[in-house]
């Protein structure tokens, strides 16, 4: 009687939900705050990023900070 409805967004929503399941909501807010305060990102820029894009930038930033810390230790 009822026909199953398939949305084009169902798969995408599942993908991002699973992709972000490791990150808590409070951690997202803390990270956004750090990006805005220390690295001059705007909230609009952060919200317009794809979740995987945000993760890539975050990992690049973490690596950069580690490299800077190592460089300062060597001086």
What pLDDT was estimated at residue 26? Answer: 87
Q: pTM value?
A: 0.62
**Domain range annotation of the chain:** 24-74
Q: Which residues are CB-neighbours of 61 under 8 A, at least 6 positions away?
A: 39
What pLDDT was estimated at residue 16? Answer: 56
Measure the CA–CA gap between 47 and 74, rounded to whole angstroms. Answer: 37
Measure the CA–CA gap between 63 and 58, rounded to whole angstroms. Answer: 9
The dihedrals phi and psi of 54, each to the nearest 5 degrees, come to: -60, -40
What pLDDT was estimated at residue 10? Answer: 58
Is residue 36 a contact partner of residue 61, using CB atoms and an 8 Å limit? no
pLDDT, mean of each 10-residue run, the chain (75 residues): 56 57 80 91 91 88 94 94
What pLDDT was estimated at residue 24? Answer: 79
If one counts every other C-beta atom within 10 angstroms of the C-beta of residue 54, the result is 21
What pLDDT was estimated at residue 43? Answer: 93
């Amino acid at each position: 009687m009822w026909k199953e409805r398939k949305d084009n967004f169902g798969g995408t929503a599942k993908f991002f939900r699973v992709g972000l399941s490791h990150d808590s909501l409070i951690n997202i807010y803390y990270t956004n705050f750090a990006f805005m305060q220390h690295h001059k990102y705007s909230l609009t820029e952060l919200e317009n990023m794809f979740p995987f894009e945000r993760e890539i930038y975050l990992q690049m930033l973490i690596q950069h900070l580690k490299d800077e810390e190592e460089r300062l230790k060597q001086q």
